[in-house]
Chain A
Amino acid sequence: MTEKRVSVPAGRSEMSALKAGDYVLLTGTIYTARDAAHKRMQEAMDAGEKLPFDIRDQVIYYMGPSPAREGRPIGSAGPTTASRMDKYTPALLDMGLGAMIGKGKRSQAVKEAIVRNGSVYFAAVGGAGAILSKRILSNEVIAYDDLGTEAIRKLTVQDFPVIVVIDSQGNDLYETAVKEYKTI
């Protein structure tokens, strides 16, 4: 198991060098967006308006946290199912989105957009919201505040653990790793 450290945002060349199965620790800035925020971003694009942040080379984390206790930047903060964002993702990748963090399978259209753009799809461990919360140093709502947990947040993360699932060559760890252990 190869372990790598990546500072984010990173350039395309750094993202496309990652391979499915790599265990990666991310440090830097990432943004959260899930169902409702993606819908709003799509509506903004359709209306020819600017997105709330420049997504070029940025990492979007599919996550809606639980409320923070006093003295903590954020509550529980694990990934949500990525496939619900599949409808919106190819357009964002074509606009320059660098990478995504979520959990679960992606559509063929998303895979093709990842390959076309030299991007990457990371999985964080689903249901590990408490441990992941500890790797988030700051949390600021930057758009769609009215969406509550679904607002877009700018997070500072340190050694945030993720695994490369779909790499820029189109390899999909969900398919290859499962085959290795399948005996039925």
Chain B
Amino acid sequence: MRTIQTEEITESIREMCIEANHFLSPDMCRVFEKAVSEEQSPLGRRILGQLKENLQIAGDDKIPICQDTGMAVVFMRIGQDVHIEGGSLREAVDEGVRRGYEEGYLRKSVVGDPIERVNTKDNTPAVLHTEIVDGERIEITVAPKGFGSENMSRIFMLKPADGIEGVKEAILTAVRDAGPNACPPMVVGVGIGGTFEKCALMAKHALTRDLNEESPVPYVQDLEKEMLQKINRLGIGPGGLGGTVTALAVNIETYPTHIAGLPVAVNICCHVNRHARRVL
């Protein structure tokens, strides 16, 4: 049994909210470099050049990469041998978001009720996903999610007979419809299988996977590569103004599903695919 204080969780989340909104992870920077060298359209190259300069200014001058600093999505993998002390975990997470968004000059983009729409003024609550795992550590991933791309995300409840071709068509449909609205070049997170909600959660989680890591499942590896090629032939390009780099990566997660179903969720992320991860 290991004890972790809630204050340590709060402080980590505070720091990760600020870090993720000012610096992209090294894997994102690498795919960006590749995109700049591969883009065929002159305007597309000019836009990618602007985005690279934007990243530099964000880090140097501490201006968030994007003004939509997102709703804070927090994934926690909590070891079953951890004892959390010092108050409620939920409150510790929200306090970290509150401090991070205030002290980091981040935009408060959360409304307290989807219909009444009054801003909570501190970007809380976070969207918190917890999972109990083996061990005595806590892994925290903070992924601020902007809504230009979130709004273009889709879920498809396919039939088993639709098979892998149906999955490919669903992914292409979501990306095609997203077009310029999702701030391409995009990162495409896909969940295949599970139930309605499990599938959507996998698509979101897939966005936090290191873009240089491949799926451990051989056919999924191939599917990721094939879909990236296909998406980049759609012509959407940087800023949606035409080009050969529409997506930077396609990350897919899968899970067992029911004999009657084939759920597919596509969570679109813009080129500002933010995530920070720490292990306590």
Contacts and interface: CB of A to CB of B under 8 A. Distances in A.
A149 B270 CA distance: 21
A78 B57 contact: no
B134 interface: no
Interface string A142-184: 0000001100000000000101010000000110111111111
B241 A64 contact: no
A128 to B, nearest CB: 4
A133 B63 CA distance: 8
A85 B61 CA distance: 31
Given A1-B43, A66-B64, A76-B107, A174 B270 contact: no
Nearest to A83: B181
B166 interface: no
A182 B231 CA distance: 10
Nearest to B47: A125
Interface in B229-245: 230, 233-237, 239-244
B50 A131 contact: yes
B271 interface: yes
A127 B54 CA distance: 8
Contact of B235 (A78, A165, A180): A180
B233 A184 contact: yes
A127 B65 contact: yes
A76 B63 contact: yes
B239 A180 contact: no
A26 interface: no
A77 B67 contact: yes
Contacts of A149: 107-109
B181 A81 contact: yes
B63 A130 contact: yes
B181 A105 contact: yes
Given A81-B181, A104-B240, A130 B65 contact: yes
Interface string B24-50: 000000000000000011110011001
Contacts of A165: 241
Contacts of B47: 125
A147 to B, nearest CB: 8
A78 B107 contact: no
A128 B185 CA distance: 12
A75 B43 contact: no
A125 B69 contact: no
Contacts of B243: 177, 181
A28 interface: no
Interface of B: 40-43, 46-47, 50-51, 53-55, 57-58, 61-69, 105-109, 117, 119, 121, 148, 151, 179-181, 183, 230, 233-237, 239-244, 270-272
Given A130-B64, A130-B65, A134-B57, 18 more contacts: A66-B67, A66-B106, A67-B105, A75-B63, A76-B65, A125-B50, A125-B54, A126-B239, A127-B271, A129-B65, A130-B54, A148-B119, A163-B43, A174-B180, A178-B242, A181-B40, A182-B234, A184-B233
Closest 7 CB pairs of A and B: A177-B242, A182-B235, A126-B183, A104-B181, A181-B235, A184-B233, A76-B67
Interface of A: 1, 21, 23, 36, 63-69, 72, 75-78, 80-81, 83, 103-105, 123, 125-131, 133-134, 148-149, 161, 163, 165, 173-174, 176-184
30 contacts: A21-B43, A65-B107, A66-B64, A66-B67, A67-B105, A67-B107, A72-B63, A75-B64, A76-B67, A81-B151, A103-B183, A104-B180, A104-B181, A126-B148, A126-B180, A126-B183, A128-B54, A129-B68, A130-B54, A130-B63, A131-B54, A133-B57, A134-B57, A163-B239, A165-B241, A177-B41, A177-B242, A180-B41, A181-B41, A182-B233
